[in-house]
A and B are shown apart, each in its own frame.
Chain A
């Protein structure tokens, strides 16, 4: 099982590297922090009502953290959905699913190879966005010590560690979005429907959170977990939102991946 999954995973990555749409998402992941940083360099203002917004001119490390709040609304889920929503459906539409299913690999191996590839792409875009933000931010505002949400100050190196760890925590809900994307890609068999469907799901979950009478649901909404990284930026570190995010995201991601797997296993491959 496992070596077959790795074979599929490796070839899925090679296919992603050969595909133009891969670079569309990565380009966005690099362009947004660049544009944001350039704007900050040219203007003296600062983003309001955003954690770390008031520190963007004191430390370059505040810039990636501000971007995490911005990017959670739309950008990173969009980039994630772009590949996750396409990864099974595009094979349906090109008729290549039948080509790879009549070799020696089991359907499950193909499916999980694809899941891993979608998660890897999500990780790559996260690292690209974060990396560009750290480098560009440090060039504009300096690699300086960072003021935490508790008001204490940490050194630049410790701050960098916290920023990187924040990316890690941010990836938890993002991975759940990717798994929803792969599931929709499998079920809808249509790239556009799956990409849009993934984004609409994220927006709908967000919408539920602001409906009157449903406020109690807020801690269990996927989109709320995009703020869990802020626990790392308190002193002492507040792990509660992070462990909470981990299990809430698992509740979204694991059923999605199981549903996608079962559909992929039992479906007729009739197209192409």
Chain B
């Protein structure tokens, strides 16, 4: 039996003539905090629903720890928990009753973990209130608590911080970080770059149902050629130093500064060379281009087919991260 938490191959979901998910391949390895990143409507939720066996793919396969949620149904969700879109509960039942029900549906000794789960999301004090009176943030936390009842090895979370206020978002991230540190594999969908950057080590970026990048976030960042702006006491002399320096490209004077493209280590070496040439550095600024630009390029720019975007080095178009 395969121990890979998530293996999706060639997943397709069509609704009539609309292709919501278009040949998605995803591999989440044990211990990953995997970010599934894309704008709203890109097919993230539909993909997660197929992984949880809630909807049937038009084509393709999903394996969770080697088991098939589409053929086996809930039996394949052994060790898997999570939610898609906002977690929903019975509004006329209390939070504790809702969790007791989920635990009963989980079977085994899940019932013994109700109080512990409530405590871990800090809802113990409100456990006897009906969920109908809960705020969005409390429901999100209850969603996590319901997932924890299953003692999952894999947690699938769909936009867990969406709709939360800044404090709630921070709490949610702290909670996910803690769960990941406890050894849980997490697949987290999001349209929030900051969230993915903070939490995830591997990402898939999805656009219009297709994966346009899959790989380690660190590779994405490392391969990003950054642009810098440099101001010195003598820009004309500095430009010559830049041109002579290995790893610096496209150096030219733009207004009061020199603009160039380089990676971080080349910039470090340049600073030494400048000082050796008796030039004083007044300012050295990375251009403000970010992962966001990269994301926008990937998700809004050319059609996915036109983006040549290997997971390795080279052709990353983004700037400083």
Contacts and interface: CB of A to CB of B under 8 A. Distances in A.
Contacts of A7: 104-105, 107
Contacts of B81: 102
Interface string B85-111: 111111111000100011011111000
Nearest to A96: B88
B46 to A, nearest CB: 8
Interface stretch (A66-74, A128-136, A264-272): A264-272
A102 B88 contact: no
B163 interface: no
B230 interface: no
Contacts, number: 96
A101 B102 contact: no
Contacts of A269: 49, 54-55
Contacts of A106: 73-75
B87 A99 contact: yes
Interface in A1-52: 4, 7-8, 10-11, 14-15, 18-20
A99 B88 contact: yes
A272 B88 contact: yes
Given A102-B74, A106-B73, A106-B75, A268 B88 contact: no
Contact of B83 (A11, A102, A105): A102
B78 A104 contact: yes
A11 B56 CA distance: 27
A96 B90 contact: yes
A63 B264 CA distance: 92
Interface in A97-152: 98-107
Given A94-B88, A95-B88, A96-B88, A102 B54 contact: yes
B167 to A, nearest CB: 26
A104 to B, nearest CB: 5
Contacts of A272: 85-86, 88
Contact of B90 (A8, A15, A107): A15
Contacts of B52: 98, 101-102
B102 A103 contact: yes
Given A101-B53, A270-B49, A107 B73 contact: yes
A266 B82 contact: no
A35 to B, nearest CB: 29
A100 B84 CA distance: 12
B88 A98 contact: yes
B90 A94 contact: yes
Interface in B40-95: 46, 49, 52-56, 73-75, 77-78, 81-93
B92 A99 contact: no
B11 interface: no
A270 B55 contact: yes
Contacts of B75: 104, 106
B145 interface: no
Contacts of A98: 49, 52, 54, 83-85, 88
Interface in B153-172: none
Interface string B226-246: 000000000000000000000
Contact of A102 (B77, B86, B89): B77
B146 interface: yes
B105 A8 contact: yes
A130 B150 CA distance: 45
A88 to B, nearest CB: 14
Contact of B56 (A19, A95, A268): A268
Nearest to B55: A268
Interface in A73-100: 94-96, 98-100
Interface in B105-152: 105-108, 146, 150
A105 B81 CA distance: 13
A268 B57 CA distance: 9
A116 B81 CA distance: 28
Given A94-B88, A105-B74, A99 B102 contact: yes
Q: Which 7 A-B pairs have the closest CB atoms?
A: A103-B105, A95-B88, A268-B55, A269-B54, A96-B88, A18-B92, A104-B106
Interface of B: 46, 49, 52-56, 73-75, 77-78, 81-93, 97, 101-102, 104-108, 146, 150
26 contacts: A4-B107, A7-B104, A7-B105, A7-B107, A11-B101, A14-B101, A15-B90, A15-B92, A95-B86, A96-B89, A98-B54, A98-B88, A100-B105, A102-B52, A102-B54, A102-B81, A103-B102, A103-B150, A104-B78, A104-B105, A104-B108, A105-B74, A105-B107, A269-B54, A270-B54, A272-B85
Given A14-B97, A99-B102, 18 more contacts: A11-B101, A15-B90, A94-B88, A96-B88, A98-B85, A100-B105, A101-B74, A102-B77, A103-B77, A103-B105, A103-B150, A104-B75, A104-B78, A105-B74, A266-B56, A269-B49, A269-B54, A272-B88
